[in-house]
Structure 1
Amino acid sequence: MRYPQYTPWMLKGYAISTVHLVDVDKVRHFIPSELNIISVLPGKTLCVVYVSHYGSGSVLEYSELIVIPALVSYEGKFGGWVSHIYVDNSDSVAGGREIWGLPKEMAEFTWEDNKCVTVRQSNRVLCSLDYKQQSLTWRQRLGGSAFSTMGNDLLMFGAEFESRLGLIGSRLEVPGESPFAGINLGQPFLTVRCEEMSLQIAAPQVVGQTNYDRITNRQEAKVAKE
């Protein structure tokens, strides 16, 4: 596999991000026990679904789906936990796994008329998102962090983001056979469309140790859903 060994990775393109209120009990299975889930309302945390396409000017060109089921903290550090992540570029899969410890998998992305995207693995639909055009927009620079694991190491890495943003309407559909259907996402209460986006993903740092096993916990989450 060939992917950029250096960091940060620079990615340029566009994205749609939906924000949901979800039950803490529904997402606990997806998250290492060492991480504390942050409640924004009693028994509720924030979940983010992010779908993007990175094009010209990026270190690699690909589409991506990320599911962050909760805001979490660890020893005074705050960020999101990436439970599911899909791309359509095998080099991105390798780089994501080997540099950041992210559980990237291959999937197919169908973008339709700049108003709908569907993500599939073989004949299984992971999700589909219908979204509207931007009207009022503004340019914004933001930063954030996320956690991942590699072996027994708990990792944390930062991201810097600049884009033209707009609040839009959307509808997210997650079929029952989707690996993250058990989160019970419901419809988003907020959707942000990002255009002319520039994103830098920094190198990860080891911040602790974990016994979390992604494969075992994916199985437990499936059982919990059923």
Structure 2
Amino acid sequence: MRKYYAKKGSIPKPGEVWLPVGDKAHLMMIHLIDIERVKAFIPEELTITTVLPGKTLGLVFMTSMGPESTLPYHEFIIAPALVKAGRKKGFYVTHIYVDNEKSQVGGRLDFGLDKQMAEFDWNWEPGKNGHVTVNKEGKIIISIKYKKQVGKLPLRLAGGVYSVLEDKLIWCNNIFKARFGFTKVEYITLPESPIYKDIRNIGIKKPILSIMGQNMMGYMGDDTQVVAFLPDRCK
């Protein structure tokens, strides 16, 4: 299928593919989440996928897209459940923060993603331990501490993402290619964080697996499709 690429520096139009080019790390943390705990955060039109008895998979992302990307920005994402509608599987995003207003507008217009503006402080140094802090209006949303990457295996990782745009259930594919290795991650959230209660209600604790990718490239918003119409959403 032919891809239509967004013009660099512009807000991507519906159907256009975003091109991310990493200038720091691409952190992906995998969690086992209790299905009963996460149900309240997932639209009823989506079926939560079971991977172990009573459990689904959740993902937490932290990435940085540099000046060679369609838009340069940092992004922090919580996608606490693997879901499906029909035959298509993907992760449903519940929390997403960026530091580029064009990314915020594009995410909301194209996918219905409720992107929030935030500030990111990342002391990135290749081959060393580090941390990144996400702040909003003077409050720390989350701090992520990580260990230096172990291993650098070239891999291509792809995964679908679901979102709701007005009365439409949207699915798209995201593809990341990087030199991936293992890391160890620790989250720190304080009671004043706007996501403190949600993280605890969902049950996001220590990841079962954390990986770091460097020299990341890929596609976001690839093969975007309307999977279903949800007329009751607009009533």
- For normalisation by structure 2, the TM-score amounts to 0.85
Q: Note if contact 1:136-1:166 (Cα within 8 Å) is conserved in structure 2.
A: yes
Are residues 1:178 and 2:198 paired?
A: no
Deviations 1:165-215 (A, max 9, x none): 0011111123344323221211111110010001201252111023686xx
Give the deviation of 1:54 after TM superposition. Answer: 0.3
**Number of residue equivalences:** 213
Aligned position for 1:120: 135
Aligned position for 2:86: 75
Aligned position for 1:150: 165
Root-mean-square deviation (CA, aligned residues, Å) is: 1.8
Mapped to 2, the partners of 1:168 and 1:125 lie a distance apart of: 23
Segments of 5+ residues of structure 1 without an aligned counterpart are: 214-226
Mapped to 2, the partners of 1:16 and 1:143 lie a distance apart of: 14
Match of 1:189 among 199, 208, 215: 208
The amino acid across from 2:168 in the alignment is: D
Are residues 1:208 and 2:219 paired?
A: no
Mapped to 2, the partners of 1:144 and 1:4 lie a distance apart of: 20
Q: Note if contact 2:26-2:212 (Cα within 8 Å) is conserved in structure 1.
A: yes
User: How is 1:1-226 mapped onto 2 (pairs within 5 angstroms)?
Assistant: 3-5=11-13, 7-13=16-22, 14-114=25-125, 115-176=130-191, 177-179=193-195, 180-181=198-199, 182-201=201-220, 202=222, 204-210=224-230
Segments of 5+ residues of structure 2 without an aligned counterpart are: 1-8
Mapped to 2, the partners of 1:211 and 1:175 lie a distance apart of: 39
The amino acid across from 2:117 in the alignment is: M
Give the deviation of 1:113 after TM superposition. Answer: 4.5
Give the deviation of 1:2 after TM superposition. Answer: 5.0
Mapped to 1, the partners of 2:107 and 2:122 lie a distance apart of: 23
The amino acid across from 1:97 in the alignment is: R
Q: Note if contact 2:11-2:105 (Cα within 8 Å) is conserved in structure 1.
A: yes
Q: 1:193 to 1:211 in 2, by over 3 A?
A: farther
Report % sequence identity.
35
Mapped to 2, the partners of 1:212 and 1:109 lie a distance apart of: 37
Mapped to 2, the partners of 1:7 and 1:169 lie a distance apart of: 35
Deviations 1:58-85 (A, max 9, x none): 0110000011010001111111101111
